[in-house]
Amino acid sequence: MVTEPVLDIRNLKVDFATRRGVAHVLDDVSFSVAPGELLAIVGESGCGKSMTALSILGLIPSPPGKVVGGSILFQGRDLTRLRQSELRRIRGGDIAMIFQEPMTSLNPVFTCGEQIAEAVRLHQKASPKAAFARAVEMLRAVGIPEPELRARAYPHQLSGGMRQRVMIAMALSCEPKLLIADEPTTALDVTVQAQIFGLLDELRQQTGTAIVLITHDMGAVAEMADKVAVMYAGRIIERGPADAVLDNPGHPYTRGLLASIPRVDADPDADLPEIPGIVPALTDLGRGCAFAPRCALAVDACLAAQPRHVAMSGDHSAACIQLESGEVSA
Residue 59: give its domain's CATH number. 3.40.50.300
Who wins on pLDDT, 8 or 141?
A: 8
Closest CA to 56 of 67, 72, 42, 40: 72
Who wins on pLDDT, 206 or 49?
A: 49
Q: How confident is the model at residue 1 (pLDDT cuts 50, 70, 90)?
A: very low
Q: How confident is the model at residue 272 (pLDDT cuts 50, 70, 90)?
A: confident
Question: What pTM was estimated for this model as a whole?
Answer: 0.90
Terminal C-alpha separation, the chain? 33
Burial of 85 (C-beta count, 10 Å sphere; 0-12/13-18/19+): exposed
Distance CA 4, CA 212 (A): 16
| Least confident stretch, 38-52, 84-98, 186-200, 236-250 | 186-200
What's the confidence (pLDDT) of residue 183?
87
Contacts of 71 (CB under 8 A, 6+ apart): 9, 10, 11, 12, 78, 80
Q: How confident is the model at residue 325 (pLDDT cuts 50, 70, 90)?
A: low
DSSP string spanning 58-116?
T---TTTEEEEEEEEEETTEEGGGS-HHHHHHHBTTTEEEE-S-GGGTS-TTS-HHHHH
3-state secondary structure of 166: helix
Longest CA–CA span in the chain (Å) reads 66
Q: Is the pLDDT of residue 326 over 70?
A: no
Does 184 share its domain with 261? Answer: yes
Does 182 share its domain with 274? Answer: yes
What's the confidence (pLDDT) of residue 2?
53
Number of structural domains the chain divides into? 2
In the chain, the amino acid numbered 166 is V
Does 134 share its domain with 231? Answer: no
What's the confidence (pLDDT) of residue 327?
54
Does 182 share its domain with 170? Answer: no
Q: How confident is the model at residue 117 (pLDDT cuts 50, 70, 90)?
A: very high
Does 272 share its domain with 127? Answer: no
Q: Report the number of secondary-structure helices (H) and strands (E) in the chain.
A: 12, 12
Does 117 share its domain with 60? Answer: no
The torsion angles phi and psi of 311, rounded to 5 degrees, stand at -70, 130
17 in a structural domain: yes
Distance CA 26, CA 233 (A): 8
Does 69 share its domain with 122? Answer: no
Does 237 share its domain with 205? Answer: yes
Tens of pLDDT, residues 143-192: 899 999 999 999 999 987 888 889 889 988 888 999 999 988 776 778 77
In the chain, the amino acid numbered 17 is A
Who wins on pLDDT, 265 or 313?
A: 313
Tens of pLDDT, residues 178-226: 999 998 877 677 877 887 788 888 888 888 899 999 988 888 899 899 9
Q: Is the pLDDT of residue 330 over 60?
A: no
323 in a structural domain: no
- The boundaries of the domain holding residue 126 are 101-175
In the chain, the amino acid numbered 251 is H
Does 167 share its domain with 181? Answer: no
| Least confident stretch, 52-61, 62-71, 110-119, 280-289 | 280-289
